[in-house]
Amino acid sequence: MKKSFLIFPLLMIFLSSCNSGKSAQNSERYPIVDSLLKVMTLEEKVGQLVLFTSDWSVTGPTMREGYEKDIREGKCGNIFNAYTAEYTRKLQEMAVNESRLGIPLLFGYDVIHGFRTIFPINLGMAASWNIDAIEESARIAAHEAAAAGLHWTFSPMCDICVDPRWGRISEGAGEDPYLGSLISAAMTKGYQGEDLSDPFTLAACVKHFAAYGAPHGGRDYNTVDMSERWLREFYLPPYKAAIDAGAVTVMASFNEYDGTPATANHFLLTEVLRDEWGFEGFVVSDYTGIKEMIAHGSVDGPEDATVKAINAGNDMDMQSAFNYEYLVGAVKKGLVSKKTLNEAVRKVLTVKAQLGLFEDPFRYCSEERQATETMTEYNLEAARKMAEESAVLLKNDGVLPIAKGSKVAVIGELAVRADDMLGTWRGAGESDKMESILDAIKEYNGASNVIYAKGCGTEGQDRSGFAAAIVAALRAEKVIMVIGENCHSTGEAACRAYIDVPGVQTELLEKIAALGKPVAVVLMSGRPLVLERESAAANALMEVWYPGTMGGKAVTNLLFGEANPSGRLPVTFPRALGQVPIYYYAKNTGRPFVNPTAKYESRYLDVPNEPLYAFGEGLSYTTFEYGDISLSAEEFGPKGELVASITVTNTGKRDGIETVQMYIRDLVGSVTRPVKQLKGFERVNLQAGESKTVSFTITPETLSFWRKDMSFRPESGKFDIFIGHASNDVKSAKFAYNE
C-alpha cells in the first residue's frame, strides 16, 4: 500500500466534510489543516515555509542534489520551476508516499503572459484596454500550466511604473492605477476561476509588494522612496484590486520602502496587507529576498534576517534557505513565537487545501490533459487576436494598410527572429513552433512579392548590410522595417540608461526613408522608447511590443488591413530621456507652463513639456469624431450620482474600435490634485458611419482620494470632466460635488 495521506484515515473523514469553496482563505473550512498542525514536528512546520527551485537542462527537468532528500524528510514543502505532468508527479510521489505525513508539494512557476501559448507581454496586453480578453488570457494560461502539473503562478504583476528605463515595465500594466487595477483583478480571476479546487485553475500571486516599479534611476532592485500618500493613491490600488478579487498569495518585493526592505516590512505585510485589507493567504519572498536584507544593511546576519522577515509577515522563503537553516533555531530561542510559526504554516496548508491537493495530490499531473489542453486552436486564436488588439498605431500618413500583392521589402533582424516575439518571462513558450513576421508576410502576400534584407542587427555598429537593404528597398513599392529591442533588452535586470532604439537601426531607417519610398516601421519593444527620429523618418509607426506565439500572423494582418489597429498606449512615450519620469497624471506647480515666451515657468529650454505620444493615444484605419459632453446634472451629493454622456461617430470608411476615455480633475483639494485622472473607459465597436452614445456614471467613490487627514473620501468642490480619444485629446465640461 502506498504511504500517502491515507496513513491518516481520520483526516480523510475530515476531508469528506470539507467544502473547497471559491474564495475562503481560512483553515476553518479545512479541518485537515488543524489536524496536521497538531502532529507536525517543528522541522516539518518549517519545511512548509521553504521554497526551492528545480532546474532545466538539455535533457529535461532536474533537481539539485539534496532537494529530493529534503522533500522526503518534509523539510521542503514547495518547489518552483518544476513542470510537465510526468516530472511533477514524480516529485509529488516523493512527498506524499515517502515523507512522514504525506503533505503534498505546491508547484509554482512564472506564468506571466502565457504558459505554452504565449500572449503579448503584459504591457502589450494592457495596450488592448480589453479587460475581458486579458482575463481570458490568464484563464488559458492557467489551463495549460495546470495541465503541466503546476498549481501556482507568480502573477499578476501589479507594479505601476512611470520610468521606462526600468526593464520590468514590460511585465506590468503601465503607469495608470485605474487601468492597472482592472487588469490585476481580471488576471487574478482568470487564473483562479470560481473555485481553486478546479484542476484547471492556478493560485495567483500578487507581486511585487510594494512599489517595486518606482526604483531610483530606473535601476532594478534599487531604493524606492515616496510619501505614504503617493504610495496609497498611485501605487497600492492594483495590488488591492487583486486581493479584493481573491488572490491567495502575495510576493514581497526586492526594494525597500521607508527605509525597510519590503521582505521584512511590517507596515506593508501586516498593517496594510493583513490588518487593513483583510488578506488571509500567505506571503512569499522574491528569489533570495530574505538573504538580500544582509546587503541592504537592515539585518545583522542570516538569523536576524530570518526572524525579521517572518515576524513582519513574510511566511515563505524563496531560495534563500534561511528558513530552512535558521528558523527552527529561532523558534527554539524564542525569537519567533510558536504562534507566529503556526499561523504561517496554517496559511500555506490552507492554500494547498483550497487547491484540493489533500483530496488528490496528483489532480494536476495529467499527461492526457497536458496533450489536449496545450496550444489548442482556441488558445492560438485568442493569442492572435490579443496580439492584434495590443498593437498601437502611433503614426500613419496613409501608407498603411498595404494592399495585398504589393511588392514589399522587409528589412530588419527582428523580422526573422521568432524567438524575440516571445519577450521576457515567456513561460514554457517554444519559438520553434512559431512563424516569424517575414514568413507570415510571405505566406499572406506571396513569397515572390517579398524581398528581405537584414540590414543590421538590433545591437552593435555593423553597417555592412546597409547596401543590401537599400537595394531591397529600391526594388519594392513599400518598405516594412521591423526594428526595436531584442527580447533580452527588457525584463528583469535589463534596465537601460538610454532608451533610444539600440544599435544603428535608426540610422538605416533614415537612409531608407531618404530614398523616397513609403516606409512603415514595425516597432518591437518592452518599454516606451524615445522615437523622435523614427517618427520623423517613417510614414507609419506601429508599436507591436513582443506579440507572442501568434505575433507573425497578427502583425501581418495589421499591416495588410485584415485587422484594424485598436490599441491605446497604457504608458507615456517621452520625446527625450530628460523628461523621465513622465506620466499624464502629473500635478500642476505654482508656476505651470502656459506661456511659451515666459521664462520663469515650469518648463524645459530645449524640448516641449509634452510627450511625443501621450497616455491613451492610438490611431485606427478609420476616424472618429466626438460630440459635446452632456451631464445629467450640474452637481450632486453623497447619496447621488451624475451621468456624463457623449456621442461618438465613426466618420471613416471602415469598421473600427474606439476606446472612449473619461478623466476627472478635482480643481481644489485639501491636498494638491493631479491635472487629470482616468476614471472610466469603454471600448466601442462602430461600423463605418455609425454613431453611439457612451455614458459614464460618476459617484462619490469616483471622486474619493486620500485627503489631508488621510481619510479616503471625496471633498466638496468643483470638478472638470474630460471625455475623448486620449489623455491629451478630450472634450470637457464642469460639475460640482456638495457634501
Q: Which residues are catalytic?
A: 286
Cross-strand bridge partners of residue 657: 685
Q: What crossing angle do the helices spanning 466-475 and 505-513 adopt, rounded to 10°? A: 30
DSSP symbols for 483-512: EE--GGGSSTT---S--BPPTTHHHHHHHH
Are 35 and 7 in contact by the 8 Å Cβ rule? The answer is: no
Q: Which residues contact 486 (CB under 8 A, 6 or more apart)?
A: 413, 414, 417, 420, 458, 459
Which stretches of 355-462 are DSSP H helices? Answer: 367-373, 377-390, 437-445
User: Which amino acid, residue 634?
Assistant: E
Are 122 and 169 in contact by the 8 Å Cβ rule? The answer is: no
Q: Which long-range contacts (CB under 8 A, 24 or more apart) does 90-93 make?
A: 91/54, 91/63, 92/149, 92/361, 92/362, 92/365
Q: Give me the sign of the Cα torsion angle 194, 196, 201, 206.
A: positive
Beta strands in 546-676 (DSSP E): 624-626, 630-631, 635-636, 642-650, 656-666
How far, CA to CA in Å, does 71 sit from each of 75, 318, 319, 596?
Answer: 6, 15, 14, 68
Are 142 and 133 in contact by the 8 Å Cβ rule? The answer is: no
- Bond prior to 586 in cis (omega within 30° of 0): no
Q: Which residues contact 427 (CB under 8 A, 6 or more apart)?
A: 109, 110, 111, 112, 113, 114, 115, 116, 118, 141, 145
Rounded to a whole number, what is the distance in angstroms from the first to the last CA of the chain? 70
Question: Exposed/middle/buried for 460, CB within 10 Å: 0-12, 13-18, 19+?
Answer: exposed
Q: What crossing angle do the helices spanning 302-312 and 338-354 adopt, rounded to 10°? A: 60
State CA 192 to chain mean position distance. Answer: 16
CA–CA dist 246, 84 (Å, integer): 27
Q: Which of 429, 377, 381 is nearest to 133 (CA)?
A: 381
Buried b (16+ CB within 10 A) or exposed e, 162-184: bbbbbbbbbbbbbbbbbbbbbbb
Are 196 and 247 in contact by the 8 Å Cβ rule? The answer is: no
Q: Which residues contact 560 (CB under 8 A, 6 or more apart)?
A: 401, 402, 403, 404, 444, 445
- Bond prior to 156 in cis (omega within 30° of 0): yes
User: Which amino acid, residue 571?
Assistant: V
Cross-strand bridge partners of residue 80: 53, 108
Cross-strand bridge partners of residue 519: 479
CA–CA dist 508, 580 (Å, integer): 27
Backbone angles phi, psi at 406, to 5 degrees: -65, 150
CA–CA dist 144, 138 (Å, integer): 10
CA–CA dist 667, 675 (Å, integer): 8
